Amino acid sequence: MQKFPFLAFIKNNVAHVFTLGNLVSGSIACVQIILGDYRAVGIFLTLSLIFDFLDGFIARALHSNSNLGAELDSLADMISFGFLPGLVFYKALEPFDSVFFGINFPFPIQYFGFLLTVFSALRLALFNLDEEQKFYFKGLNTPSCTLMVFGFFYAYQKYGAYSFLLENKTLLLLGMAFLSWLLISRVKMMALKSKSKKWKDNIPKIILLSGSLLILILLGVIGIPLVVIFYILLSLSLQGKLN
Domain residue ranges in the chain: 5-189
What pTM was computed for the model? 0.91
Report the distance separating Cα 13 and Cα 166, nearest Å: 42
Multiple choice CATH, 5-189, 3.40.50, 1.10.10, 1.10.3470, 1.20.120: 1.20.120
What is the pLDDT, as a whole number, of residue 30? 98
Mean pLDDT by 10 residues, the chain (243 residues): 63 86 97 97 97 88 79 94 98 91 87 96 90 82 97 97 96 96 94 75 88 96 97 90 73
Q: What DSSP state is assigned to residue 108? A: -
- Is the separation of the CB atoms in 135 and 243 below 8 Å? yes
| Residue of 19, 4, 99, 24 whose CA lies nearest to 54 | 19
- Is the separation of the CB atoms in 147 and 49 below 8 Å? yes
Report the distance separating Cα 48 and Cα 80, nearest Å: 7
Report the distance separating Cα 182 and Cα 124, nearest Å: 13
Name, in order, each residue with C-beta under 8 angstroms of 175's C-beta and a sequence gap of 6 or more.
Answer: 165
DSSP lists the bridge partners of residue 104 as 99
